[in-house]
Amino acid sequence: MPEGDTVHKLAGYLGPALQGRQLVAGSEVLFLSACHPETPLEELSDKRIIRIYALASRLLGRNTRGGPRVTRMANDDAARLWAYGRAGRPCLQCDAIIHSVKLGKALRSTYWCPGCQRAGSSITKTD
């Protein structure tokens, strides 16, 4: 998790920043944080970035055992994940169609819901 001066050194967009930290659940963290993956990091407060990384840490901690990754804890048969791998399917929260794009230097796939994660709608530096 970034702390102190480390937060200020982060640059670029939120999606690739999470991927660059080897977070397997980057798309899920962004979904649960209601952040669009192309949100410029400089638009987010240090406090917000630290909360996003803390959520990522909790999700990774829940998924350390073998077996499928799970971020959606609903007791139904809909899906184990909110956004990851669901491009072209309806969002489980708002029914908008999940989108996918390749971001960052490694061009890793990132998934997001345009209804739940609107560009420019993330909580910004005032948070």
Q: What is the per-residue DSSP string for 63-115?
A: T-SSS-------SSSS-S-SSTT-TTSB-TTT-PBPEEEEETTTTEEEEE-TT
CATH class of 5-112: mainly alpha
Say if pTM beats, i.e. exceeds, 0.75.
no
Kindly report, residue by residue over 3-43, the tens digit of the pLDDT: 444 444 455 656 655 654 444 478 888 898 898 988 888 88
Q: How far is CA 59 from the centre of its chain?
A: 11
Kindly report, residue by residue over 79-99, the tens digit of the pLDDT: 678 888 899 999 999 999 999
Question: CA 18, 23, 29, 31 torsion: positive or negative?
Answer: positive
